[in-house]
């Protein structure tokens, strides 16, 4: 009888309400930035918004680690399992951008944290930047400008020939695209207008797309490398394609081909690329993304590489794109706070891991407070649960409810 009375008392003690009236709003934090002026109007009535401006979890305030239920982040911070485990209440991470290789999405799912991205973000900007890099490699505008800046006198035909050495005609050249997603397709359409013959390799793309876009599909990476005068990367980074461009694959490329990467830095082995540039096997390369960021010419394997253009992971940026991404990321956070996770989310990339690790499936719906209307909610860490007729402290046990 005494045990029944204790159980009844505990059932009446509900977890704290995060989004109910007269209660604090849930905390949402921008991890690696400080400007929240775009996100605030979208979230201000459902969440408290803070910024951390951190480059690692060691720099994140303890209050955010303990209380934040939502996180917004760019590409300048990395969250692996050991980082994710530091967050005590986190339920949703929204990557402001398309790539999410800086987040361990499997571990996040196992910890009950949904991860979302903006897959349509900056397609136009990235495609424009890619074509800009390609044109610069072919027409050598950057090097010509630099020569004049350095005081090089260019008057005679011989001087022009010397300073513009390596410039090439575009029409009739073959551009090979590795990956034909949103950005890859946008690049293909732009390149065709300049006279490129465009081929692509994408084993995950459904048949027929090449016919609708007027492109040629190749069935192996080796075929693409062998037939391309310029290779451009447009695929995501995962455990299967790290250093996709390496010493072995570079040797399969045409002698004197160009290489462009506006996708992910880990796709290219920079040591192998530097050696190929020095030996002339690759005529020129343009990289917007790098193995180690922020990139600097003062260190790393590329510091002495010739015929190389590097930009600071900025191919995605325009004022319009930045605004659109931030607004959509804030709306995704709002859907999480006011709806159910992951059902209410538009672009959840780790739903399969959340489903496989359904911590809340066995919870009695009768114990769920009606105002906890999301999909996850962690009971206060010092709660007491009656298990098998015994009272047991679970200060370190995560007990999931069907609430937010």
The residues assigned a catalytic role are 264, 293, 313
- Under DSSP, is residue 355 helix (H, G, I), strand (E, B) or coil? helix
List CB contacts of 74: < 8 A, sequence separation 6 or more.
Answer: 32, 33, 95, 96, 97
Residue with tokens 């490129």, as numbered in its chain: 196
- Residue 218 — φ and ψ, nearest 5°? -115, 155
Query: What are the CA-CA distances from residue 103 to residues 69, 108, 121, 129, 212 (Å)?
Result: 16, 8, 18, 25, 35
Q: Give me the DSSP letters along 236-293.
A: ---TTTTT-BSHHHHTTSPTTEEEEE-S-GGGB-HHHHHHHHHHTSEEEEEESS-SSS
Token code pair at residue 85: 């485990």
- Tell whether omega for the bond before 342 is within 30 degrees of 0, i.e. cis: yes
What does DSSP assign to residue 18?
A: S
């Amino acid at each position: 009888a005494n045990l029944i009375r204790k159980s009844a008392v505990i059932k009446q003690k509900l977890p704290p309400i995060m989004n109910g009236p007269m209660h604090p709003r849930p905390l949402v934090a921008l991890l690696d930035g400080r400007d929240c002026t775009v996100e605030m109007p979208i979230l201000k009535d459902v969440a408290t918004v803070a910024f951390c401006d951190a480059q690692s979890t060691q720099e994140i305030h303890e209050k955010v680690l303990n209380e934040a239920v939502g996180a917004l982040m760019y590409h300048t911070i990395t969250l692996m399992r050991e980082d994710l485990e530091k967050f005590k209440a986190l339920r949703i991470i929204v990557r402001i951008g398309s790539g999410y290789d800086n987040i361990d999405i499997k571990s996040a799912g196992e910890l009950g944290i949904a991860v979302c991205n903006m897959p349509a973000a900056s397609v136009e900007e990235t495609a424009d930047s890619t074509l800009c890099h390609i044109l610069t490699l072919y027409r050598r505008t950057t090097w010509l400008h630099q020569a004049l800046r350095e005081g090089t006198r260019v008057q005679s035909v011989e001087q022009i020939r010397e300073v513009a050495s390596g410039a090439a005609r575009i029409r009739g050249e073959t551009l090979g695209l590795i990956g034909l997603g949103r950005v890859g397709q946008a690049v293909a359409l732009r390149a065709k207008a300049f006279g490129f013959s465009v081929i692509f390799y994408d084993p995950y793309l459904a048949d027929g797309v090449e016919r609708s876009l007027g492109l040629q599909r190749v069935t192996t990476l080796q075929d693409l490398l062998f037939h391309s005068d310029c290779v451009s990367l447009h695929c995501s980074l995962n455990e299967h394609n790290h250093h996709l461009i390496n010493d072995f694959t570079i040797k399969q490329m045409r002698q004197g081909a160009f290489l462009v990467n506006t996708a992910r830095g880990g796709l290219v082995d920079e040591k192998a690329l530097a050696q190929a540039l020095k030996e002339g096997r690759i005529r020129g390369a343009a990289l917007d993304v790098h193995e180690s960021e922020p990139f600097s010419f003062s260190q790393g394997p590329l510091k002495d590489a010739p015929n190389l253009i590097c930009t600071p992971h900025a191919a995605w940026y325009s004022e319009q794109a930045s605004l659109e991404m931030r607004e959509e990321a804030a709306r995704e956070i709002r859907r999480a706070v006011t709806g159910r996770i992951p059902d209410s989310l538009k672009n959840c990339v780790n739903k399969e891991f959340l489903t496989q690790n359904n911590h809340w499936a066995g919870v009695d719906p009768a114990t769920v407070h009606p105002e906890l209307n999301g999909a996850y909610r962690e009971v206060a860490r010092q709660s007491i649960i009656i298990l098998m007729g015994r009272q047991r402290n679970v200060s370190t046990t995560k007990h999931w409810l069907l609430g937010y």
